[in-house]
């Protein structure tokens, strides 16, 4: 039986804390403990004390959010959205830079990363929007997609490709939960998929070269792009039955032409990415083609995980991680430390803990008593699932390197605040809107 209204959260005695959703909180705590062990090993423990310093205030902020009603976030979603935009604009104008990216606001005692805050801000905004405007047609999709367009562009210019892609994952998950069908989402994502499929595979047709920004760009079409166009044509013919309406014939024709044009001009759009971004997105297909350059990260990560075997070398005994052969081991490749030091058993433990968190987020989304809370939960689920899948995938060489950190494990002050705030928001939704007897 579901509740008809939000339950007030008041801690009168310690026993009240037992009513929190420990199916969610327990794996989170275990992963944070694991993170401290991994960061103690990474980079000779340089980031361990820093992360520990962020951990206490992050927990305090998260715990304090338990006392805020879920409806409050719905009432201020416009403020959340516009403050988010302002912070992103400040980054572009006067943000501090590191490693070729301008992503931080230097406050003296801490460097704030607004792109991390944007993730939860976008989730709150989309949840409020979709709760009032469920998706019924393509116009609803276009209107809601505009919400993420401005922050997407601002973050992409930093540049931060990983967070930009996270926005897309969050939007797709929440749009589906708000009523979008698989066909709706295929239409929305088809241009992106056209770009991807015309970037991989063997060239079938070449249409010569053009010069853009003093670069010679070859206009080509690949075999996978042709197969993809055939797939979406078959999908829409089967599902739309165009022979019943000339308007459907027109729609499918325009869609196919649009996807062909987007895929065809892929080399032109590709030229707007930074060279290192281009290499990162494709090198996972053949890291051995550049073993000392773009492929170095993946190769070293695979070697570290493979060296761990079943039980690993033991804590702080990893040969490649302790020798700093694995780059960015405290952020993007923290899973490599887990694989080398704790082996398959330790890696499986981490994955199972993430699976528990994702399962619980999905359970809360399905059983919440109002649409806004449900959308918040599915947004956090989409955010966490994307980070876990992409980060672990790039650590084992099956996904491109996009700079997506592993939630709760990778080093990062702002990210830790946002991750724990998201977790406590799920706990608040669970406590307030689910029956006390969870099962």
pLDDT per residue as tens digits for the range 321-376: 776 777 888 888 889 899 989 999 999 999 999 999 999 999 999 988 889 999 99
For 274, the 3-state DSSP assignment is coil
> Distances from the Cα of 268 to the Cαs of 154, 199, 209, 285, in angstroms?
21, 11, 11, 21
User: Is residue 7 one of the residues assigned to a domain?
Assistant: no
User: Is residue 48 one of the residues assigned to a domain?
Assistant: yes
The answer to whether the bond into 404 is cis (omega within 30° of 0) is no
pLDDT of residue 2: 45
Burial of 270 by CB count in 10 Å (0-12 exposed, 13-18 middle, 19+ buried)? middle
Which pair of tokens denotes residue 126? 């989309």
User: Is residue 438 one of the residues assigned to a domain?
Assistant: no
pTM summary value: 0.87
Count, in order, helices (H) and strands (E) of the chain: 17, 5
List CB contacts of 228: < 8 A, sequence separation 6 or more: 193, 194, 197
Tell me the residue range of the domain where 289 lies. 14-433
pLDDT of residue 13: 55
User: Is residue 268 one of the residues assigned to a domain?
Assistant: yes
pLDDT of residue 82: 93
User: Is residue 8 one of the residues assigned to a domain?
Assistant: no
pLDDT of residue 249: 85
List CB contacts of 20: < 8 A, sequence separation 6 or more: 427, 430, 431
Dihedral (Cα; 247, 251, 256, 257), 10-degree rounding: 90
User: Is residue 400 one of the residues assigned to a domain?
Assistant: yes
Task: Show the low-confidence residues of the chain (pLDDT under 70).
Answer: 1-17, 95, 97-101, 209, 211-217, 271-282, 284-286, 289-290, 293-294, 323, 435-439
Find tokens 């905004």 and name the residue.
125
Number of domains in the chain: 1
Is the separation of the CB atoms in 383 and 119 below 8 Å? yes
pLDDT of residue 8: 61
User: Is residue 160 one of the residues assigned to a domain?
Assistant: yes
Q: For residues 221 and 205, what is the distance between their CA atoms, to the nearest angstrom?
A: 5
Which pair of tokens denotes residue 179? 């009523």
């Amino acid at each position: 039986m579901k509740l008809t209204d939000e339950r007030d959260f008041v801690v009168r005695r310690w026993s009240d804390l037992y009513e929190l959703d420990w199916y969610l909180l327990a794996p989170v705590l275990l992963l944070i403990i694991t993170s401290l062990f991994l960061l103690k090993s990474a980079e000779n423990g340089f980031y361990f004390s820093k992360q520990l310093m962020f951990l206490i205030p992050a927990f305090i902020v998260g715990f304090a959010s338990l006392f805020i009603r879920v409806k409050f976030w719905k009432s201020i979603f416009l403020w959340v959205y516009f403050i988010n935009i302002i912070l992103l604009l400040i980054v572009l104008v006067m943000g501090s830079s590191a490693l070729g990216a301008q992503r931080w606001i230097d406050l003296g005692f801490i460097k704030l990363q607004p792109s991390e805050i944007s993730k939860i801000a976008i989730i709150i905004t989309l949840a409020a929007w979709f709760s009032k405007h469920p998706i019924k047609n393509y116009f609803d999709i276009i209107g809601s997609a505009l919400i993420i367009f401005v922050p997407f562009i601002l973050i992409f210019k930093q540049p931060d490709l990983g967070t930009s892609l996270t926005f897309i994952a969050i939007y797709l998950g929440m749009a589906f939960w708000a009523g979008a069908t698989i066909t709706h989402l295929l239409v929305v994502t088809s241009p992106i998929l056209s770009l991807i499929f015309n970037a991989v595979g063997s060239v079938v047709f070449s249409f010569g070269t053009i010069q853009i920004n003093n670069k010679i760009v070859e206009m080509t079409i690949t075999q996978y792009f042709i197969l993809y166009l055939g797939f979406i044509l078959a999908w829409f013919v089967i599902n739309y039955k165009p022979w019943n309406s000339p308007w459907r014939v027109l729609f499918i024709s325009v869609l196919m032409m649009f996807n062909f044009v987007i895929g065809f001009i892929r080399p032109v759009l590709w030229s707007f990415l930074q060279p290192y971004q281009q290499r990162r997105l494709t090198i996972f297909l053949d890291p051995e083609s550049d073993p000392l350059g773009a492929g170095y990260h993946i190769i070293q990560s695979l070697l570290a995980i493979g060296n761990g075997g079943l039980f690993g070398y033991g804590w702080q005994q990893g040969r490649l991680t302790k020798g700093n052969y694995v780059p960015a081991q405290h952020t993007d490749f923290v899973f490599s430390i887990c694989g080398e030091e704790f082996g398959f058993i330790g890696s499986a433990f981490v994955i199972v803990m993430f699976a528990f968190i994702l399962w619980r987020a999905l359970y809360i989304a399905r059983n919440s008593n109002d649409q806004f809370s449900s959308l918040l939960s599915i947004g956090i689920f989409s955010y966490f699932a994307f980070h876990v899948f992409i980060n672990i995938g790039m650590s084992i060489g099956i996904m491109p390197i996009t700079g997506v950190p592993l939630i709760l494990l990778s080093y990062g002050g702002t990210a830790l605040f946002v991750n724990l705030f998201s977790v406590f928001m799920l706990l608040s939704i669970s406590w307030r809107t689910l029956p006390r007897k969870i099962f």
